[in-house]
Structure 1
């Protein structure tokens, strides 16, 4: 059923590929519109868990992931409806290229193009014109005609080398019938800091607000904000159904939260709170442990390898979480899974003692990229569900398991197309962990 409330406008910000400057343009536009008093929220298509933090820093409104592969359409509708309740404008940043995804079936590829079709949202295309000029018009025309259900309505020229470069690109694109609503000159000052998993998180960026203000200044002088706003289109909301959302694993959830533990998807925390759960943060880096009156301890992903020495020295944290685990569940995802093991070898080859709640060991010195959509079938009852349940999510890490340990496996794991990848993670007593980041359940 279509919702009769006033609905926000929405616009997808896409590009032909990763590295085109989508994130910088999106963050700058978010802050520029927020300066105008517009209630604007950033959304990330796909499983990226870093960009929503920048979106929130730019707007003050919590970010959101919408993932057409990992989330059933009813869950996408539910999350979008919830996000729209206090929002005038949704800017949805594409992952990778606009049409990039996997062979997941019609409308379930994980691409931002799926959202454009499903929700009939127009696209603002960010074109990095470095190394080309008039040829950018051919790219723009290709996007306009590639899929009639994905409507590319405007172009932002990005990383132009000069005003002449802008003029050549703009003239060709507009002659091909595509409106250019902005042109941004190349500047190293606009680049976001990066590390091995992509961008440095917003919470780690000491001058984040000044940086976002600089991006907004550039957008205000280089982009026609009124033209961008005119491209956005009201979206027809429906209530959806949260049945595929991952339910809260407890009433009071002790959650590690500091520079080493940051990767909790916003929609998970929001859904848990909406269901009446309380998230009780603690900081392992400050040698804090989970509150003993909590029902479960959750160690999310993050960058424990950058803080391995400090975590190893956090004796009170280790003792407290070990005591907690004797009575109640403890679960770790990715970085949290690494900390649940016996040891973590950092990039310099130094081994650091971890909690030893599970028996595996991991190493960042022996780097191997593991990246992609994952679906798992749980092999036992636990915080993510009952044995036999299937969940969808994502894996992205460079750590290697150098000792698999002797624990029972947590799940059977497959890639996004269903190709088996073997067993994942470990279970022992009340403790479980895996490199897999859970996004949603499957009910279909």
Structure 2
């Protein structure tokens, strides 16, 4: 039997990831087996979870996934002692229109799994009001239970005492209070945290976070607050078809945004995956029958990608006879040109006519439901694909035949339709699951 707990907060940027990593590493150091999950469409946090626990983490998403898929993914925690689900944004933040089995809010997952919520509260610039916010979250939705609170970035002992007293008066347990500690701040960039694989000292940082949290938080009390949990057998797995039998997957610092559950689903269906690095000027495996370029940070490496002639010629040769698909950053690299933050245009692979600019930045963020107008690797025309889009690049030209009719979570049709030309297809959204 495992102990299940959801880590959430009133808003983004409060310290959920740092606390999740610290708890996971501290419990792992004490001999417990810890399994993490990420609620919502985040490509980066699962890699941090894996670094902290030594076990692969996956995303669970109530807007894009059905209950059977979520149950299947969570069942990997069967042999763990502690299972932590890290939330995204605020506890009840989701989209306005319900998706497959929810709005994408962390509260959906907490209610579905019947796990209590450990709330991270940053009382900066306030005192007793922090208790009012926590009490409001506790009472907002009947099916979501609050285990208690960890305070983060308290300014002084007096500040901590004021907030603690107010929380205790409201009947909310306080498991600990963390003063400001710059040494455990995780570096960020425009799409979120700098990836775990790019941080050579990530292990030391997580160890320091674990030491710091163990010093200021009652870990035993937190563990006692978790729900005793035994997963039920899942009726179904992830509804994703592999794009091919042998998949050449671009994988390096510029091409890393791929959901772990996708790769697992491909392998579970019998597909073989070989990786190659465009940044190292490598082309796709010639024996593969499909090539997949995930998203990442090609806008930060556009000059290098443009200079890597072996990668570009190898991809073009591959696409003459076999399908190539790109997601978000991968889609941009399949295009004709990418303008970087300095306004310099770099030649891309030219498999599609797409031209994008990172100099003209505008955030594109949200769930996407696409109905394919034509086939793409792994999916037939008419398939309804659920995904998520998050990038800052602007389309300058998208001249090719649209790949799909793409709608946001409200049902409104959007301009980022994806493209198709010859054997090449691409989308700005990252695929999460196909509607059954």
TM superposition score category, shorter chain reference: over 0.9
Equivalent positions of 1:35-434 (< 5 A) are: 35-81=29-75, 83-105=76-98, 107-242=101-236, 245-405=239-399, 407-422=400-415, 424-434=417-427
**Partner secondary structure for residue 402 of structure 1:** strand
- Deviation track 1:260-287 (CA, whole Å, cap 9, x = no partner) reads 0000101101111222222111001111
Divergent runs of 4+, >4 A: none
8 Å contact kept, 1:69–1:104 = no
Deviations 1:233-270 (A, max 9, x none): 12342232446521111121110011100001011011
Aligned-residue RMSD, C-alpha:
1.4
Q: Secondary structure at the match of 1:273?
A: helix
Partner in structure 2 of residue 3 of structure 1: none
SS at match of 1:24: helix
Q: Which residue of 2 aligns with 1:440?
A: 433
TM-score if structure 1 supplies the norm length?
0.95
Aligned residues: 435
On the 8 A contact 1:379/1:387 being kept in 2, the answer is yes
Q: Distance in 2 between matches of 1:384 and 1:99?
A: 34
SS in 2 for 1:371: strand
CA distance in 2, matches of 1:259, 1:10: 33
**Residues 366-413 of structure 1: CA deviation (Å, up to 9, x unaligned):** 1111000110001111214100010111000001111212x2111110
Indicate the larger mover: 297-306 or 193-202. 193-202
Cα offset, 1:88, TM superposition: 2.2
Q: Which moved more, 1:160-169 or 1:348-357?
A: 160-169
Which segments of 5 or more consecutive residues in structure 1 lack a partner in the other structure? 1-6
CA distance in 2, matches of 1:38, 1:380: 49
Q: Deviations over 1:12-60 (max 9, x none)?
A: 0111111111111111111111111211122111101111111111111
Show CA shifts across 1:206-256 (max 9, x none). 211111111111111011111111111123422324465211111211100
CA shift at 1:334, angstroms?
Answer: 0.3
Q: Provide the C-alpha distance between the structure 1 equivalents of 2:287 and 2:357, rounded to a whole number of angstroms.
A: 33
Give me the whole-angstrom Cα distance separating, in 1, the residues matched to 2:269 and 2:29: 33
Does the residue aligned with 1:420 lie in a helix, a strand or coil?
coil
- The DSSP-based 3-state class of the residue aligned with 1:62 is coil
* Gapped regions of structure 2 (runs ≥ 5): none
Deviations 1:107-164 (A, max 9, x none): 4110010111111111101110111122222122212221121000111011101122
What is the alpha-carbon distance in structure 2 between the residues aligned to residue 162 and residue 71 of structure 1? Answer: 43
- Contact 2:72-2:238 at 8 Å conserved across structures: no
